């Protein structure tokens, strides 16, 4: 048995026409270099979910939240004690604010990762919608050609079935010429030589088949119409407002920048 080896070859666009004229059988796969690359490690890392705990928030005690009245006159010992208390309280506030800042950064990172996933998903949806539109358009174009031919044939068959009783009646009225009959034969008609009963039954069967084909044609028309309506519904309802999400992501980045400035001032 002769076996052919399958060879994968990178074909340039200019050589595709020459390849198609050859008497060989090929499967041509077209790739978009802007979407598909050989290095997908960055995309995989971007879309990989990593379990991570939320940053620990430093809670303030009730005493740290109370309003404290500092005496007007303090001795050296009391001044050092109050200074230490103020320092501890301020450090607690700083830790509390830094905890919020870390949480903001964590949420912003999640938003950026989700946004990257949405960008990829939006691109995939657009590719799928483009393919769906192409298939739907191909189905419609093929159906329109078929429907035009089928309608013409249905009309012709309907006219033949409608005229069949008149044709049978005409056969019963057309006399056979005497020279075509045996001598001293009685008057004969063409219907005497044709099994009209079988023809009538055959016509009734053809009529049933014709009506069945008409029903099938209506079902096919309805199916194609549903495909078109479904395609339009998917097209209208599957869009992702990526611009609005990009604006929201820009606001998140701006908020992170503002909080970073506040954090830098506190640390200084």
pLDDT band at 40 (very low <50, low <70, confident <90, very high): very low
| pTM for the full predicted model | 0.49
Spatial distance between the Cα atoms of 51 and 159, rounded to a whole number of angstroms: 74
* Residue-by-residue DSSP string for 92-148: HHHHHHHHHHHHHHHHHHHHHHHHHHHHHHHHHHHHHHHHHHHHHHHHHHHHHHHHH
Q: What percent of the chain has pLDDT over 90?
A: 17
Most confident of 83-92, 174-183, 218-227, 246-255: 218-227
Average pLDDT (220-245) is 83
In angstroms, rounded to a whole number, what is the distance separating the alpha carbons of residues 56 and 38? Answer: 40
SS3 171: helix
Q: What is the DSSP letter of 180?
A: G
pLDDT band for position 113 (cuts 50, 70, 90): confident
Query: Is the sign of the CA dihedral 243, 245, 250, 254 positive or negative?
Result: positive
CB 26 within 8 A of CB 10: no
Average pLDDT, whole number, for the chain?
75
pLDDT value at 6 more than 70:
no
Across 215-224, average pLDDT: 92
What 3-state class would DSSP assign to 24?
coil
Residue 255 has pLDDT above 60, yes or no: yes
- Checking if the pLDDT of 115 tops 60, the result is yes
The full set of domains in the chain, from first to last, is 84-267 (1.10.287.950)
Q: What is the mean pLDDT of residues 210-237?
A: 89
Distance CA 107, CA 102 (A): 9
Q: What is d(CA 243, CA 116) in angstroms, rounded to the nearest whole number?
A: 13
- Residue whose pair of structure tokens reads 């340039």 in the numeric block: 12
């Amino acid at each position: 048995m002769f076996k052919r080896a399958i060879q994968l070859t990178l074909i340039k666009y200019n050589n595709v026409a020459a390849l198609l004229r050859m008497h060989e059988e090929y499967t041509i796969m077209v790739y978009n270099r802007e979407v598909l690359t050989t290095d997908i490690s960055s995309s995989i890392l971007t879309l990989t979910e990593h379990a991570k705990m939320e940053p620990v928030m430093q809670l303030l005690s009730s005493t740290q939240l109370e309003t404290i009245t500092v005496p007007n006159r303090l001795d050296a010992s009391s001044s050092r004690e109050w200074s230490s208390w103020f320092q501890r309280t301020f450090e607690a506030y700083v830790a509390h604010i830094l905890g919020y800042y870390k949480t903001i950064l964590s949420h912003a990172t999640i938003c950026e990762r989700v946004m990257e996933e949405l960008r990829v998903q939006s691109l995939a949806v657009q590719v799928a919608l483009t393919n769906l539109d192409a298939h739907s358009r191909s189905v419609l174009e093929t159906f329109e050609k078929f429907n035009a031919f089928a309608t013409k044939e249905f009309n012709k068959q309907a006219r033949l079935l409608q005229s069949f009783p008149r044709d049978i009646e005409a056969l019963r009225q057309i006399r056979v010429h005497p020279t075509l009959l045996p001598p001293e034969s009685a008057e004969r008609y063409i219907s005497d030589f044709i099994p009209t009963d079988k023809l009538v039954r055959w016509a009734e069967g053809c009529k049933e088949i014709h009506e069945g084909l008409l029903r099938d044609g209506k079902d096919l028309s309805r199916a194609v119409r549903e495909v078109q309506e479904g395609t339009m519904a998917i097209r209208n309802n599957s869009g992702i407002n990526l611009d609005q999400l990009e604006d929201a992501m820009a606001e998140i980045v701006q908020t992170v920048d503002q909080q970073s400035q506040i954090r830098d001032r506190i640390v200084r």
